[in-house]
């Protein structure tokens, strides 16, 4: 008699979402919230992954506040821990100012767009997505080394 097949490991997706005011202070808060959430998920402060994701969040939140700001409207930070990666999504409500596509980021010495040069260098993947109502999301993913998550 053979044993029944072992069920596959369940896929656990963890998500953190926070709406923040479009201010420089909120952009800094987004970075701190990210570091704390990653630590809660078992990605320790000061690890390469934690530092990389925090830097990406800082750049995308600063862009949302600087270039995506519409008075009276917030931006949204969403972190998702999926199998093998951390996904960062920053959504703002200004659709007419779109960042360039991945691979078409400005040169490092250009006056604007240097934050996206960092995102392009640090993220394993990133893209810009249109959302409803008029909004856009910049999504970046960082692949994880083998970790044990809580």
Task: Tell me the pLDDT tens digit for each residue of 93-132.
Answer: 866 655 556 665 655 555 555 678 889 899 999 998 888 7
Token representation of residue 102: 């991945």
Rounded CA-CA distance 147/61 in Å is 26
Q: What is the pTM of this model?
A: 0.81
Domains in the chain, CATH or no CATH each? 14-143 (3.30.565.10)
Task: Tell me the pLDDT tens digit for each residue of 5-24.
Answer: 655 555 567 999 999 998 89
CA end-to-end span of the chain, whole Å? 37
């Amino acid at each position: 008699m053979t044993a029944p097949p072992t069920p596959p490991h369940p896929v656990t997706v963890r998500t953190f979402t926070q709406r923040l005011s479009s201010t420089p202070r909120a952009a800094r808060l987004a970075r701190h919230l990210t570091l704390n959430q990653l630590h809660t998920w078992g990605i320790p402060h000061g690890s390469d992954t934690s530092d990389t994701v925090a830097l990406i969040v800082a750049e995308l939140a600063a862009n949302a506040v600087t270039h995506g700001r519409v008075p009276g409207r917030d931006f949204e930070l969403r972190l998702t821990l999926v199998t093998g990666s951390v996904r960062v999504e920053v959504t703002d409500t200004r659709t007419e100012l779109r960042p360039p596509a991945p691979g078409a980021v400005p040169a490092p010495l250009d006056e604007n767009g240097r934050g996206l040069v960092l995102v392009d260098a640090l993220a394993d993947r990133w893209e810009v997505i249109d959302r409803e109502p008029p909004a856009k999301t910049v999504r970046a993913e960082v692949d994880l080394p083998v970790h044990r998550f809580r």
